[in-house]
Structure 1
Amino acid sequence: MVEHAFGPYLKQLREQQSYSINQLAEAAGISNSQISRIENGVRGVPKPATIRKLADALSVSYADMMKQAGYIEAASAVNEPQDIPEWATYKDRRDFKKMLEDEDDLMFDGIPLDDEDKKRIKDVLTGLFWEAKQMNKRKKTDEPDKRP
């Protein structure tokens, strides 16, 4: 990850839009101290959900911010979904893409969700998906050989 570059990048975006730290904090729904720590390099790269909030507040591309944060590589950003761990196999990636394809059908109690709610759900699902995949891989390696 390119931790040292994200803070100055965030500060530059904020200043380009003439936001104070307090204004960005309010728009993103995160604390001003967290933004200050990120910009000054005291805190490392924020989690993808926080980056999503910052991207929305600054009206910039989430994918671009994720690239700058080091979560995704620039070359793979066009063809690959975001937040894919290094250990993921081709099959894992295919399953992940398939899960995200049904985004337009996301509803709650029969009511279609708005874009903001869809983003939140996708962020949570992404984390849970990769966590479950990793747990399944660990289980397979921890199981004793059952062959006679």
Structure 2
Amino acid sequence: MTAKIGFLLILAVISTVSALRCFEGTVALDSNDQTSKKECGGMSNYCIQRIDKKTKEMRRECSSWSDEHSMEEKCPMTGCHFQTKDSTFCCCQFDECNEWKGDGTEFKAGETSSKSKAVPSAPKLGDVIMPTAATQK
């Protein structure tokens, strides 16, 4: 019983350490504002951005279960892919990569602006320095 609990705990720590971090939120098509960052769940393997010309909005998020099911068709490679005349689907597989312009092109360095109300992402477990007996003396 104890071995099972230990194994599950190790799996939980590994999935937390290796979680993908994506931008999340909705902005106007012409906006250069960054959205907040989010640690994705263990099932998310992609950061995505949906560009909707009808609503004139871009939605950035972690991939969901339904996205993961059809990702190879929607996203054969990193970048933005035309779906219909009014919608474009963008995807990528590394931290904080889902930030494209409304036309699907990449922002250049310095083109985005941070919102003052954006919430900073939590540090990853590997970035946290834990005190040891030597540091507490």
Normalization by structure 2: what TM-score?
Answer: 0.24
Structure with greater helix share of residues = 1
